[in-house]
Structure 1
Amino acid sequence: MASRARRRPPPAAARRSPVSVPSAATRDADGTRADILAIATEEFAKKGLSGSRVDEIAERTHTVKRMIYYYFGSKEGLYRAVLERCYDHIRMIESDLDLDALPPNEALRRLVQTTFDYHNKHPDFVRLVMNENIHHGDHIGHLPNIKTRNRTVIAMLGKLIDRGVAAGIFREDLDPVELHMSISALCFYNVSNRYTFSRIFEKDMSSPKALAARREIVVDTIERWCAAK
């Protein structure tokens, strides 16, 4: 009887390490966690921390409360994860602008335009920030890396200011934190006060035409404030 041919082991390049590809369970877990965060963002933005219910979030994500508590520990833990995710997202958008590749004045315009557009496209972010301020920032203060992870925008503005001052375009006394605060305030207001302001003063703040006009005003305001005298 002929002996069976021995199977040669696959070459090293063809072998797969058991940790090189995420398991189906890991992929499912990541997807479930992302779904929970997305739905929780909507719920917390609409109803606030106290008004949101874990039962409703579980139902909308086709999970159970126990799973949500497994991932996030508590409703407060989920809320903090939502806040962290929202801040991480806007910081990521800013970092992707590659402002160092643009002249200082163009870089400033690009940043202000992007910030204005982001707030209008993500009203849930504005509502979440407003809600957290009602809580005096108590929950965001429990996020251990929130300060470090948000220093990126200050560092980016610091570099931009230095380049603008060196080019004689920006005034020398600009502070990156003050600049960030001013940009955020002007962009934030158009969303946070849209309904009250428009009703009191009968001012259109939502149409594409109104948004384009307001966007240019905000950009012009920041440019003039930064300009060298």
Structure 2
Amino acid sequence: MSEQRAKRDPEGTRRRILEAATEQFTRFGLAGARVDAIATAAGTNERMLYYYFASKEGLYVAVLEAMYVHFAEREASLDLSGLQPAEAIRELAKSIWTHLRENPQWLSLVNNENLHEGRYLERSSGLRETISPVVDLVRVTLERGAAAGQFRQGVDPLDFYVTVVGMGYYIVSNRFTIDAFTGRNYAESAHHESIAAMHLDMLLGYLRPAS
């Protein structure tokens, strides 16, 4: 693709670079990903990659941002207002866990960034704002449940959200080592559904007000 053509379609070019970069960073991490391979896969050249993202590290941050934004927007768009609070929690948790299972690239990128101790994500100026709508959704649901006498008072929505994500994240991100260590493959539908049901019971049991 020529530079002139790329500049006529900046959004399309940027999207293709992000898609190609996601694949490279997922497979090889930041250190192993090659700028020339990303540019070739995106149908452009390295000059345009640097034009849009300034550096390989800048592109890596953009990929992480896009993945987190997509994850947060998906959950924040759920309409839970018509559901009973307990059912709303179930739907939110199942949606989060489904997203984790269906997006192994996201897990690989997060694991890689944790090896870097999160220092590249810290460069993102607006990343933390993306989680606010999801936490607000959790907060509203918890408050509805508390007002109805179905949930305990004072549950921190961010702590609860991180707990829900953590439950699903561990089972998916560690599925290979869990299988090797225990002989149980949680990627199999029956095992995944069984432990998801257990996690839901644990979450709702915690939320239940003391008698």
Gaps of 5+ in 1: 1-23
- With the length of structure 2 as denominator, give the TM-score of the two structures: 0.92
3-state SS, counterpart of residue 186 of structure 2: coil
Cα distance in 1, alignment partners of residues 41 and 110 from structure 2:
23
Bigger Cα Rg = 1
Pair 1:123 & 2:95 matched:
no
Pair 1:103 & 2:84 matched:
yes
3-state SS, counterpart of residue 99 of structure 1: coil
* Residues 166-218 of structure 1 deviation map (CA, whole Å, 9 limit, x = unaligned): 01111113111110111011010012111111101111111222222232222
> Does 94-103 or 118-127 show the bigger shift?
94-103
**Alignment partner, residue 185 of structure 1:** 166
**Alignment partner, residue 75 of structure 1:** 56
Instruction: Tell me how far 1:25 sits from its aligned partner.
Output: 6.7
**Alignment partner, residue 205 of structure 2:** 224
Cα distance in 1, alignment partners of residues 160 and 81 from structure 2:
17
Residues 138-217 of structure 1 aligned to structure 2 (within 5 Å): 138-217=119-198
* Residues 41-71 of structure 1 deviation map (CA, whole Å, 9 limit, x = unaligned): 1211221111111111112112111111111
**Alignment partner, residue 42 of structure 2:** 61
Amino acid at match of 1:145: G
* Residues 82-116 of structure 1 deviation map (CA, whole Å, 9 limit, x = unaligned): 11101110111112211223221111000000001
**Alignment partner, residue 46 of structure 1:** 27
Instruction: Tell me how far 1:76 sits from its aligned partner.
Output: 0.5
Cα distance in 1, alignment partners of residues 147 and 194 from structure 2:
31
Cα distance in 1, alignment partners of residues 94 and 192 from structure 2:
11
Gaps of 5+ in 2: none
2:11 to 25, 30, 41: 30
> Does 201-210 or 72-81 show the bigger shift?
201-210
> Does 46-55 or 73-82 show the bigger shift?
46-55
Cα distance in 2, alignment partners of residues 207 and 68 from structure 1:
40
Pair 1:133 & 2:114 matched:
yes
Instruction: Tell me how far 1:137 sits from its aligned partner.
Output: 1.0
Amino acid at match of 1:200: F
Pair 1:27–1:197, CA change in 2 (3 A)? farther
> What is the alpha-carbon root mean square deviation over aligned residues?
1.6
Instruction: Tell me how far 1:27 sits from its aligned partner.
Output: 7.0
Q: How many residues are aligned here?
A: 206
Pair 1:195–1:133, CA change in 2 (3 A)? same
Pair 1:26–1:159, CA change in 2 (3 A)? farther
- With the length of structure 1 as denominator, give the TM-score of the two structures: 0.85
Following TM superposition, the consecutive aligned residue runs of length 4 or more in structure 1 with deviations greater than 4 angstroms are 24-27
* Residues 103-132 of structure 1 deviation map (CA, whole Å, 9 limit, x = unaligned): 211110000000010000001111111111
3-state SS, counterpart of residue 184 of structure 1: helix
Identical counterparts, % of pairs: 36
